[in-house]
């Protein structure tokens, strides 16, 4: 980690998690639950309902539980925050400190202008320290943390989920902060699952330490500044330090502090830090755990960490991500960065013209599997196919089905996508199957053969089409005013909700339509009578003979 040292009392020019919670509360985006909640059976299921109960995305909020108990009646001395960083666009916006429509440019600026962190000696995350024999006392180890069970009825233990594991490349010294699950196994042992399909970050570090025959120093960071939470969720090149990008997000260096028992630098404003050494000789069974691909990840052999220290703030807030079936909290965090990264890759790295945006499908599939490239009208077909293939080069585990659509199609509305597929796509010309793809993130036993495949679909307009057969916008808007004046149930427009031209609409027909709404359609009937002919078959298009 390329960091500067500061020895004075640490200051910061960015919000920590406590500031963020206060901002959410002020914005009306925080639900505070003060009654007793069982972390093992009630906590995550309660928050889950705002994602599986038909609630609109913009209505979802962060949840702060202040009275935590477990199934054995134990009470915990710290609150738990769930949904605090990405449960809705509004929550994400508060965490980023910019309006929703400015988030992508904000990411662009941060990526291009990372700010190295600064090392401090006194850190909030080390106000309380347990290490050595003190960890063996009841409540001083992992048994003192109110770690929820994410998927009650399936998970085999509580799992740490947010923020993630901090590791370091032993060759370059570059740190990686990755959001991996961590099974709570004993008060002094923690599991690790490092997403081996991505082949970056913690897993690659583990392989290097294994080759050296050394255990891997690691620290699980729980909670911290929102900017750090967002960058930890992203996939950056291995040479990029996520904490430096977090500094770019807030325009100031993030404070980091040296761990007590391992050679690592962690965010100084983390809520809790679990330090330890990960064995590189042995693996042991880990999971089941409800995963973000929407299925339970059954048991695997994975790594484990022997805990050497736990440090925390005096007023620590335990942060847990709601993951599992999409949409969820991590969907919202990951989607914006992924979509931005895809668009940037296509436009800047591959130089493809006419790409407007890239949208990832979220519900159930979770950002990676179904991807939509939205392109301008009249983009050459060669560019459309370059974009479809280009998506497949950006993310190793992404792209099961990739659609290209025009900008009048709303990728968030699958009815709209199916409409384009039905009327703008000829399967024999407009679909390609790519073989020999990675299986990626998902239950491997459900995929046949040695690899996977991807379907690329060009569902764009290949020629001018007649207008969409809905009233023009001005008439739909006037009708909505009448609807609302009648105190009828609220309506949410779905694309398309008004008619518009797709190129095949001559002025002569526009004039006939104008006459119709003006009440002059009798004139049109008279003019049509003057154009009668007997040398054409029924259903002959007028443009073929006139």
- The strand order across the sheet containing 370-375 reads 355-360, 370-375, 401-406, 452-458, 431-437
Q: In sequence order, which residues have a C-beta less than 8 Å from that of residue 308 and are 6 or more positions away?
A: 131, 135, 260, 261, 262, 275, 276, 277
Q: Domain residue spans in the chain?
A: 4-316, 329-458
pLDDT at 52: 78
1-18 pLDDT tens trace: 666 655 455 689 999 999
Helices (H) and strands (E) in the chain, counts: 15, 27
**Tokens 């597929």, located at residue:** 421
Looking at the predicted structure, is the pLDDT value of residue 219 above 90? yes
pLDDT at 445: 47
83-102 pLDDT tens trace: 999 899 899 999 999 998 89
pLDDT at 9: 57
What is this structure's pTM? 0.81
470-483 pLDDT tens trace: 788 999 898 889 88
pLDDT at 102: 92
Residues in the chain: 546
| Residues forming a β-bridge with 33 | 65
Residue 302: how many other CB atoms lie within 10 Å: 18
- Which residue in 274, 302, 303, 141 sits closest to 215, CA to CA? 303
pLDDT at 18: 98
Q: Which of 12-21, 174-183, 220-229, 251-260 has the lowest average pLDDT?
A: 174-183
Q: Average of pLDDT values for 204-227?
A: 96
**How far apart are the C-alpha atoms of 3 and 259, rounded to whole Å?**
15
Which CATH number, 3.40.50.620, 1.10.3370.10, 3.40.50.280, 3.40.1670.10, labels domain 329-458?
3.40.1670.10
**How far apart are the C-alpha atoms of 58 and 520, rounded to whole Å?**
45
483-523 pLDDT tens trace: 888 887 888 888 888 888 988 899 999 999 899 888 898 89
| Residues forming a β-bridge with 165 | 178, 220
pLDDT band at 468 (very low <50, low <70, confident <90, very high): confident
298-329 pLDDT tens trace: 888 999 999 999 999 999 999 999 887 767 77
pLDDT at 402: 93
Peptide bond preceding 288 in cis form (omega within 30 of 0): yes
């Amino acid at each position: 980690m390329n960091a500067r040292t500061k020895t004075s009392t640490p200051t910061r020019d960015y919000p920590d998690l406590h500031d963020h919670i206060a901002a959410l509360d002020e914005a009306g985006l925080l639900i505070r639950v003060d009654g007793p909640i069982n972390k093992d059976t009630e906590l995550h299921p309660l928050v889950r309902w705002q994602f599986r109960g038909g609630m609109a995305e913009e209505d979802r909020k962060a949840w702060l539980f202040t009275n935590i108990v477990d199934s054995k009646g134990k009470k915990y001395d710290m609150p738990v925050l769930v949904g605090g960083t990405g449960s809705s666009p509004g929550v994400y916006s508060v965490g980023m400190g910019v309006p929703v429509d400015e988030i992508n440019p904000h990411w662009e600026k941060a990526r291009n202008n990372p700010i190295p962190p600064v090392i401090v000696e006194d850190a909030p995350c080390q106000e309380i320290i347990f290490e050595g024999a003190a960890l063996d006392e009841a409540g001083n180890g992992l048994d003192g943390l109110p770690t929820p069970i994410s998927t009650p009825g399936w998970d085999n233990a509580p799992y740490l989920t947010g923020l993630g594991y901090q590791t370091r490349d032993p060759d370059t010294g570059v740190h990686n902060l990755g959001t991996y699950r961590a099974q709570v196994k004993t008060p002094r042992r923690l599991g690790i699952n490092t997403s081996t399909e991505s082949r970056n970050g913690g897993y690659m570090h583990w392989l290097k330490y294994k080759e050296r025959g050394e255990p891997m120093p690691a620290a699980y960071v729980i909670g911290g500044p929102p900017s750090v939470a967002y960058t930890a969720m992203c996939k950056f090149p291995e040479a990029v330090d996520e904490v430096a990008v977090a500094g770019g997000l807030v325009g100031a260096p993030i404070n980091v502090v040296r761990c007590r028992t391992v050679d690592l630098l962690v965010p100084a404003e983390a809520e809790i830090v679990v330090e330890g050494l990960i064995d590189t000789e042995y693996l042991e069974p880990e999971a089941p755990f409800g995963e973000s691909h929407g299925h339970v990840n059954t048991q695997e052999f994975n790594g484990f960490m022997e805990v050497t220290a736990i440090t925390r703030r005096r007023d620590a807030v335990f942060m847990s991500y709601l993951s599992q079936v999409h949409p969820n909290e991590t969907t919202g965090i990951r989607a914006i960065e992924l979509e931005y990264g895809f668009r940037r890759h296509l436009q800047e790295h591959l130089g493809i013209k006419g790409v407007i945006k890239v949208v990832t499908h979220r519900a159930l599939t979770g950002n990676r599997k179904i991807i939509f490239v939205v392109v301008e009208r009249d983009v050459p077909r060669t560019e459309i196919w370059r974009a479809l293939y280009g998506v497949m080069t950006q993310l190793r585990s992404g792209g099961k089905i990739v659609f290209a659509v025009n900008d009048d199609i709303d990728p968030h509305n699958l009815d709209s996508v199916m409409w384009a597929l039905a009327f703008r796509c000829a399967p024999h010309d407009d679909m390609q199957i790519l073989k020999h793809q990675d299986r990626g993130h998902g239950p491997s036993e459900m995929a046949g053969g040695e690899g996977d495949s991807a379907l690329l679909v060009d569902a764009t307009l290949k020629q001018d089409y007649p207008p969409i057969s809905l009233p023009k916008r001005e008439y739909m808007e006037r009708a909505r005013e009448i609807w609302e004046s009648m105190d009828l149930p609220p309506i949410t427009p779905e694309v398309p909700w008004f008619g518009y031209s797709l190129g095949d609409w001559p002025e002569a027909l526009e004039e006939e339509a104008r006459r119709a709404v003006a009440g002059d359609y009798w004139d049109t009937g008279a003019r049509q009578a003057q154009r009668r002919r007997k040398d054409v078959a029924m259903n002959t298009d007028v443009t073929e003979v006139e």
